[in-house]
Amino acid sequence: MYPTKNDLPEGTRRQVIDLCNARLADAIDLQTQTKQAHWNVKGPDFIALHKLFDEVNDDVEEYVDLIAERAVQLGGVADGTARSVAKRSTLPEYPLKGGTGRQHVEALSTALASFGKAVRPAIAESDRLDNADPNDIFVGISGGVDKWLWMVEAHLQSEG
């Protein structure tokens, strides 16, 4: 760890850094999966889904930055290399190289749901560590991911 004048106890900072890096791997994986869908979607809903997936990516990119920067603010190192992410991510592998809009919607909604499921325990864990800053970050991310899951899943639901 790097020296810092941050007043949180070193043990707490180490635990929060570990927590941030664990969720950082998932967030970066989610971002790459979102771009995979954005780049490769095909079909009659192409333009709507292409734009939607890009909007999801914009928010996920912010989540990545928030999580990584919190780890560094506490004297840690943000561990976000592709190799590290591939080893640490808990998200399922993105199943498509190509595919229809519906297939990408299904795959991306699975990734969003998996990420949301991983973030919620991080809220409780940062609460347990009595550290409000990452708690606020994870609460915000959880709400944002739920919003995007709703918007993506809406494309799977029939009218009426």
pLDDT confidence of residue 159 = 59
**Domain boundaries defined on the chain:** 10-156
- With the C-alpha atoms ordered 29, 31, 35, 41, is the resulting torsion angle positive or negative? positive
Mean pLDDT of 22-46: 97
Q: How far is CA 101 from CA 90, 93, 104, 146, in A?
A: 25, 18, 5, 20
Mean pLDDT of 85-107: 94
pLDDT band at 91 (very low <50, low <70, confident <90, very high): very high
4: left (phi over 0), alpha (psi -120 to 50) or beta: beta
Name the CATH topology of 10-156: Ferritin (1.20.1260)
This prediction's pTM: 0.95
Under DSSP, the state recorded for 40 is H
pLDDT tens, position by position, 5-32: 888 889 999 999 999 999 999 999 999 9
Query: How far, in Å, CA of 6 to CA of 102, rounded?
Result: 47
C-beta of residue 41 within 8 angstroms of C-beta of residue 99: yes
pLDDT band at 160 (very low <50, low <70, confident <90, very high): low
Q: What is the CA radius of gyration of the chain?
A: 17
End-to-end Cα separation, the chain, in angstroms: 55
For the chain, where are the alpha helices, taking DSSP H only? 10-40, 46-73, 82-88, 101-128, 132-153
Query: How far, in Å, CA of 137 to CA of 139, rounded?
Result: 6
Q: How far is CA 23 from CA 7, 86, 104, 111, in A?
A: 23, 13, 23, 13
